[in-house]
Structure 1
Amino acid sequence: MFRQVDSLSISGTGTLNGNGASYWKTKQATYITLEHVNDVHIRDIHSINSKKFHFNIHNCKGVTITNIHAIAPADSPDTDGIHLGKSENIRVSGANIATGDDCISIGDGVTHMNITGVNCGPGHGISIGSLGKYQGEKEV
């Protein structure tokens, strides 16, 4: 987890293997999480078998995600490629996401987002919303 950081860059040519199969039944773990992080650049990351969301971005500003790969089996639960909430100025481009859940899930409070050149499947594609469960949720 990265919390309350400015000007963060995450990049690499290796593969992050979350070995998530043992966690998929319990749903008690997270993977790469960014909270209250501003001016973020994530590029050239390969993530496989995350324990939950491959990239969880919450309360962040100015996030650029380029050329990432997120892979998990078709039956892996909650392995969204990218999950966003309460964040703004998000750019995602050149991603290949093949997971058991959402390719990209856009939750409440996300504003000013641009998605281009993203290949999704076999999961649910790009999901916007899932709103109404909690009181006080913001619009997308």
Structure 2
Amino acid sequence: MALQKIILSLLLSLLTLLGLGLVQPSYGQFMYQRFLRQHVDPTGTGGTNLYCNTMMHKQGMTGLKCKEFNTFIHENIGTINNICNAPNIQCKDHRMNCHAGVVRVTDCRNTGGSPPNNCRYEATAITRGVVIACEGNPLVPVHLDR
């Protein structure tokens, strides 16, 4: 009985902290880690079809189907996180948690093949503007909007 009261008390405390915004839910951390896996390659130079074919498979985007399009950002995470400090702009879903910046990227476009090991991609390396959705406190990138 005493153990149940302690567990209930801890649960209520956690819910209170979540309600106050003092503890970030794991969903935001999951989305941040997913963003890093799908879109960030600070050490890569990218730009080749072989790069796209390798990275899309390595990062898990060719499992059940070949992802049609993906962008890898070739900047350090500090530079990418700083985009979240830019003024808010409207996202494609009309939310106001997007931010714009200019970064070096490799865009990978599916040209055919079949999953999981035969997806083929064409690469385009360019420096261009991106729009990133950010969430949390502090703000971190969670979605590459465009």
TM-score of the superposed pair, with normalisation by structure 2:
0.22
Q: Which structure: greater strand fraction?
A: 1
| Max Rg structure | 2
Q: Which structure: greater helix fraction?
A: 2
